[in-house]
Structure 1
Amino acid sequence: MAKLTVSDLDLKGKKVLMRVDFNVPLKENEAGEVIVANDNRIVGALPTIKYVIDNGGRAILFSHLGRIKSEDDKKGLSMKPVAQKLADLLGKPVTFVPATEGPELEEAIAKLNDGEVLVFENTRFEDVKNGVEVKRESKNDPELGKYWASLGDVFVNDAFGTAHRAHASNVGIASNIAQTAAGFLMEKEIKFLGGAVEAPARPFVAILGGAKVSDKIGIIENLLGKADKVIVGGGMAYTFDVANGKKIGNSLFEADKVELAKELIEKAGDKLVLPIDAVTADAFSNDANIEVTDGDIKDGYMGLDIGPKSIDLFKKTLDGAKTVVWNGPMGVFEMPNFAKGTLEVGSYLTTLEGATTIVGGGDSTAAAQQLGIADQLTHISTGGGASLEYLEGKELPGIAAISEK
């Protein structure tokens, strides 16, 4: 069933609790002030925030920032610089409250007028109390969820990056408030990632990369049942090569996953598309001696990227695709000599006419941004672990808690 979205709500005069993903990197400027180093996640939340305040809502924003395991961690992870950056981006004042509960927060919320914005302190500050790690936020303490829900009239969840976790700031609030709606970012994730998994336009091709089969087992198994083709590249391809009886030299592989790889190969048939050559090197270094190898990789060399024949094969497999999900690089793309496979495959996605092209977060996102093609793809997921679990077909607690229309 379709989920309620922020545009379905009557917001005028309402205190709108908004879970956003402002888990952004911080740095010190020349004056020694802590500032936001990368504002992409804040910019991503602006459409939902602006919609709320333009429609007369009182926006009460909260997010986690980093991991809090001690009182010392709190000193460098306040939301104050994030609130300042948000004010700059909105071009209007943003009230910051250095508290996660109590009279100061409650009074500030009571003073809010329609169209105003408040940011309260890092939700993870609730994970440490009086020097003791209690994890009230990350373990979804029922009283904390109830308390935060009491601060507003409706709840908008726009933080897909935490949707795979049941925290007090998502599931806890949703369990204690009449209406929970998806923000525009969350709505896009449900539409594109969820749509690709549940009802893709066909042919549907999945491209999976990265180092380890163990990180992607669930995704491979789920997508083999749903996709027309599953392309596998990156380091995890060498575990499949061993399963196929190939010699892989010094390439990394997972010995304990070889039997599983054999089962997946047998189960998949021609659905599974594996590399047929590799760019190999005699050291894990951009300056190593390099050879392009068909078939077996010789001793002393390791595979660090897919080769030109594999690039051509993967492009041919993608031709005519109407839905493509890409998660994981084809090689060690951080090193220029081993980036070609990732960059060629990523660039080819932009040439597919009429295709919905989805990047599933993590290193693939970094590669798309490095290529300068991010704005030419249909959707780039804002979630790391959440994207992976969604592609595995798992129910995400943060999405399950959003009200149905």
Structure 2
Amino acid sequence: MSDGTAAPDPDDVGAEPGRNPDAVGAEPGRNPDQGDPERDGSPSRGRVHGRLERIQGAQERVHSTWESLPWFLRWAVVWSACLLVVAAGIYLLATVAARLAPLTIALAATLFLAAMLDPLAVRLRRWRLPPAVAALLSLFLLLAVIGGAAYLVWTLTADQFSSLSKQLDEGLDRTRDFVTNSLPVSPEQLDRWTKQATEGLRRSTPDPIAGARTAAEVAGGVLLIFVLLFFLLKDGRPMWGWVLGRVGDRSRPAFVQAGRNGWHTLSAYTRGTVAIAAIDAIGIGLGLVLLGVPLALPLAVITFLGGFIPIIGATVAGSVAVLVALAAKGPTTALLTLVVVIAVQQLEGNLLEPLIMKRQVRLHPVVILVAVTAGTLFGGIPGAFVAVPVTAVVYRVVDTVSALRQGREPT
């Protein structure tokens, strides 16, 4: 007699309601075919644990070896690695700049001239002139100064070139006699050396095609400099504001201060260098005029341009003046010219330069000499021109950022 309930299936005996009979003893929600990952001893999990243990052991051995080294050796290793990274970065930047030499020279000259003309452009804008008009007037003033100086030099010295050839021939003969009589050098040896030097100069003279290409590059570079200079004087501050807008809020104050100090350093260096070079040119030029050395004005211009290359430029310009005096007037005038050059340079280096530069550009002469030498090796004369201002600006920026990070006021 049935009570209305179905007889249980023999296969379901012992099974809980709603559970798969094949999963008796299994935890809910787990596939019984997977097994326990903590007990199955899978090969992949063991390999991972072994690899991690080996890495940890290697790290401990390296740390133990590093701690066992003397402190000065660890210090040398760390600083050597840092210097290698910095040197590699500088070398890469210098290589790229050398590859793009015309553009690099144009940008450097533009920044240099902009730092020199920016006070004039600012003053013109304060007189309610539009930025474009102020930039154009600054450019016209620069062109007028350069063109007027070139015209003055040519006008005052054109008549000296005709008589200079004869004076140089006579001076060279006197110099030849002086060398052969005072030094253990025979006239035949001196003639042979002169011939070798002349042949070397002839071989190093570029062909007409290369000369035309160089002239075209120079003309294009000059045009690019004036175009970039106009836009930098006109829109320099909006450009700087655009750059600051891409800097994070936390880094912006340091970025603003470093940029301002770097620009002030470049401006001070530019104006100070122009003033010192002009004083050197005037002093040496007056000395050459009083001694009757021909081409005194062109030599003064060479001295002015050489003043933009610290230490080396003044030495080279003074050597040219002494050689011209020796060839044209003889050893006595050359010796007096050397005295004038040394006196002017000593006055400039010991009195005028510290007074004019003040505390704007604080670089040791050793640093300046190394920077000029490195710039000459990488970029020749243009590299020597830009080496010191670049070094001064970089030093000023790094010093400012370091001071702000340490919580002190930049000097």
TM-score interval, smaller chain: under 0.3
**Whose helix proportion is higher, 1 or 2?**
2
| TM-score, length of structure 1 as denominator length | 0.26
| TM-score, length of structure 2 as denominator length | 0.25
